[in-house]
Chain A
Amino acid sequence: MTTGRRILLADADAFYVAVARLVDPDGAGKARLLIVGGAPDRRGVVTSASYEARAYGVQSAMPMARAVRLCPGATVVPVPWEACADKGREIAAVLRRFTPAVEQASSDEFYLDLSGTERLYHDEPLAATARRIRDTVLAETTLSLSIGGATSKLVAKLAAGVAKPRPGSPSGGVHVVPPGAEAEFMLRFALADLPFVGPKFQERLARFGLRSVRDVVRHERETLVRWLGEREGEWLYQRVRGHDAAPVEPDREAKSVSRDETFPTDVDDDDALAAKLLVLADRASADLRDGGLVARTVSVKLRDADFITRQASRTLPDPVRSDRAVYAVARQLLARLRRARRVPARLLGVALSQLGAEGAEGQLSLLEREAGGIETERDRTISRVIDEVRGKFGPDALGRGGAQGR
């Protein structure tokens, strides 16, 4: 049953900007025009910008060089990743006091399912609960949230967008769409506002004259299915009416751990790429171990200078966690990608997936001493020691010889 669900989406306002200001109260904290992201001379992109900077047209994911041209007086600071992760966890901890069904959708977005809490909260209206949640988070973390409420995740997310403060128009920070009003609420949106409707899908939709929710609701289900196919036609038909049965998944765990790097200038030399790969494999496997995880699938992503992105993966018989094992597999994958097309590369990435908890293995292997065993006990021990040294002396205390001069 999806009717009668009480779902909230809590989204931290200008999260990266807010955290950057907390971390550096005298610098970023005092800059009205603040942009957070990568450096403009290293092909960095904007992660987030203060509402004042956004008024100049600065948007997230925009190249930083362009953002600085649009908003010349802005202060640019790097993303304080660790502080952001800490603050995200603090917010989640507060939210969990209101309902155990909290799903962290990204570092600053949380879905809450409050279905069944009516008695617990003495039939308080959902908007009132949302306001209490917002006040509590603000008091305890100094971070401000925008909260959308509805009977589905889709509508709650769009409602949160409506609740967001805009330059020159402060908002109450809470917008709840009452049950039954979803279809009418949806009419104000462009199709591009819906999650999963990306530029390519938008192009396809535009060919049928479909640009807004209003354009779509005029058509029968059969027409949409004929135009877009069974799956996408049905999907769109449901979404424009605000129907979305996706559950809030509190235990949703990370499905992959990845690290990638966009190079300041394109790299064409195989040895140089291998050295970059070593650093990425080292970081990704360190993240993996940090999360107490092991991985069975190793993937390498390569984006060529002409923006063609290619990927190769390999699934291993036994899970691995050491940088040596990850690099050994990643290197073969990179070689395969380079053999297929050898042009200057713009971005390189390593991803580890099919994750499991570290304790879940521990099963010793009969055939390990043979070539089939990718990772040996020795690799695991070395990784453990590396982690200990880095824990004591910092992340740069120890690195692989091949990664020198990074």
Chain B
Amino acid sequence: MKFTITREQLQEGLSAVAAAIPAKTTLPVLANVLVEVTKQGLRLSGTDLDIAVSTTVPAEVDAEGAVTLPAKKLVDIARELPSGPVRITAAGESRVGIECGRSKFKLLGLPREEFPSFPAVKFDGAWKAAAGVVHKLVGHVAFAASTEESRPILNGVLWELRPDHMRMVATNGHRLAKMDVPAKGGSTADLIVPPKALEQIRRLFAADEALEVARSDNHIGFRAGGTLVFSRLIEGPYPNYEQVIPRENDKVATVDKAGMAAALRRMSVVASDQTHRIRLAFSGGAVKFSVQTPDLGEAQDELAVTYEGEPLEIGFNATYLLEILKYMPTDEVRITFKAPERAATVEPVGWDDPASYMALVMPLRLVD
């Protein structure tokens, strides 16, 4: 193995895979990056066994070969090297020499055979989408997934691929986010993807890249340019979320997002640390906010809104509402209700985008 690469390109490749390499691991080889040198250039790979990332960067290759090297040390060396060509050569079994200008290193690694093999995902017949579209789906939906371990299925984001559209849905059982975007071609599939893998997609692929998405029985693969991401899929079935989306909400409030968020943040100061319970009273042209926390105090606020329907008093976890507002893409949002113990919907108003987006949140029971 013998090749020459610019420091910048080495760093670029390493930063792509380093995020997939676990900081602590019981399997020593997982702390290493797999370095493979072929005629195509330098391929770097890292994995924590849940997610695997692999990227190819150009290099001047003199001799092919492969080895695994401690990722953190290689990243630190690449960062500290002077700018200039870096020569990397095999120096015996699982050992490489690194030279750049007058700096010289010898680094011990592990044989490539110890590195886990990548999931066998074939990209023939892959779905194709602009990475930017996937970014948009992930960026508006993934936040709603559960982080609790008790229901693993809710830790994932449901990705529905259909001939004419794609949809992502996530929920923790208390709130839900859902977005649809038009799409062309491709077959039908329901994938439940760990948010950690989707975060890698957002990080690694530029919005204008054409992303290929493929699956095997229990893995999903993403490919664009010279970079590949694989992730384990969460095994379904996903709960029937369609059935909880309210269709009969007859009370509609149109509110200024910034004004509502500001009032919610103010009320949160005196809300219970555990429940974040706040009370909203809609009637006529206003919503009155109030919060009362035993042993702490109380607060009230008011905001002008457009409201149609019978007056309504409803309780919410302020954190859930604030989070949903944060991801709403428009200055105005529409909130609909049926009753104090039924789901409320939140949607953007006047969003100039082919996508459609909504969030749901279940109220908190009001205790008087």
Q: Which residues of A contact B (CB under 8 A)?
A: 296, 315-318, 356-357, 359-367, 369-370, 372
Q: Is there an interface contact between B173 and A366, defined as CB atoms closer than 8 Å?
A: yes
CA distance A367 to B153 in the complex (A): 13
Counting CB contacts under 8 A, is B171 at the interface?
yes
- Interface 1/0s, chain B 260-290, versus A by CB < 8 A? 0000000000001011010000000000000
Q: Which of B171, B241, B243, B277 contacts A362 (CB 8 A)?
A: B277
Q: Which of B148, B277, B362 contacts A366 (CB 8 A)?
A: B362
Q: Is there an interface contact between A367 and B365, defined as CB atoms closer than 8 Å?
A: no
| Contact (A363, B243) CB under 8 Å given A315-B150, A317-B148, A318-B173 | no
CA distance A318 to B360 in the complex (A): 18
Q: Is there an interface contact between B364 and A362, defined as CB atoms closer than 8 Å?
A: yes
Q: Is there an interface contact between B239 and A370, defined as CB atoms closer than 8 Å?
A: yes
Q: Is there an interface contact between A359 and B275, defined as CB atoms closer than 8 Å?
A: yes
Task: Count B interface residues, CB 8 Å.
Answer: 28
Q: How far is the CB of A379 from chain B (nearest CB, A)?
A: 15
Q: How far is the CB of B323 from chain A (nearest CB, A)?
A: 14
Q: Is there an interface contact between A363 and B275, defined as CB atoms closer than 8 Å?
A: yes
- Interface 1/0s, chain B 133-158, versus A by CB < 8 A? 00000000000000010110010000
Q: How far is the CB of A371 from chain B (nearest CB, A)?
A: 9
Some 8 contacts from A to B, beta carbons below 8 A apart, are A317-B148, A359-B272, A360-B272, A363-B317, A364-B174, A364-B362, A366-B176, A367-B244
Q: Chain B residues near A369 (CB, 8 Å)?
A: 243-244
Q: Chain B residues near A359 (CB, 8 Å)?
A: 272, 275, 367
CA distance A365 to B174 in the complex (A): 5
Q: Is there an interface contact between B274 and A360, defined as CB atoms closer than 8 Å?
A: yes
Q: Is there an interface contact between B274 and A317, defined as CB atoms closer than 8 Å?
A: no
Chain A residue with minimal CB distance to B343?
A: A366
A-B complex: 10 closest residue pairs judged by Cβ atoms:
A362-B365, A317-B150, A364-B362, A360-B274, A366-B244, A317-B151, A362-B364, A366-B362, A367-B173, A367-B239
Q: How far is the CB of A329 from chain B (nearest CB, A)?
A: 12
Q: Chain A residues near B215 (CB, 8 Å)?
A: none
CA distance A331 to B154 in the complex (A): 25
- Interface 1/0s, chain B 310-323, versus A by CB < 8 A? 00000101000000
Interface centre among A315, A359, A366, A372, by most chain B C-beta atoms within 10 angstroms, is A366
Counting CB contacts under 8 A, is B363 at the interface?
yes
Q: Chain A residues near B362 (CB, 8 Å)?
A: 363-366
Q: Is there an interface contact between A362 and B275, defined as CB atoms closer than 8 Å?
A: yes
Q: Is there an interface contact between B239 and A357, defined as CB atoms closer than 8 Å?
A: no
| Contact (A364, B363) CB under 8 Å given A316-B150, A359-B275, A372-B151 | yes
Q: Which of A317, A356, A370 contacts B240 (CB 8 A)?
A: A370
Counting CB contacts under 8 A, is B341 at the interface?
yes
CA distance A372 to B315 in the complex (A): 24
Q: Is there an interface contact between A366 and B367, defined as CB atoms closer than 8 Å?
A: no
Q: Is there an interface contact between A364 and B243, defined as CB atoms closer than 8 Å?
A: no
Q: Is there an interface contact between A363 and B364, defined as CB atoms closer than 8 Å?
A: yes
Q: Which of B151, B243, B275 contacts A360 (CB 8 A)?
A: B275
Q: How far is the CB of A250 from chain B (nearest CB, A)?
A: 16
Q: Is there an interface contact between B239 and A364, defined as CB atoms closer than 8 Å?
A: no
Q: Chain B residues near A361 (CB, 8 Å)?
A: 275
Q: Chain B residues near A356 (CB, 8 Å)?
A: 274
CA distance A361 to B175 in the complex (A): 15
CA distance A369 to B244 in the complex (A): 9
Interface centre among B150, B171, B173, B343, by most chain A C-beta atoms within 10 angstroms, is B173
Q: Is there an interface contact between B365 and A364, defined as CB atoms closer than 8 Å?
A: yes
Q: Is there an interface contact between B367 and A365, defined as CB atoms closer than 8 Å?
A: no
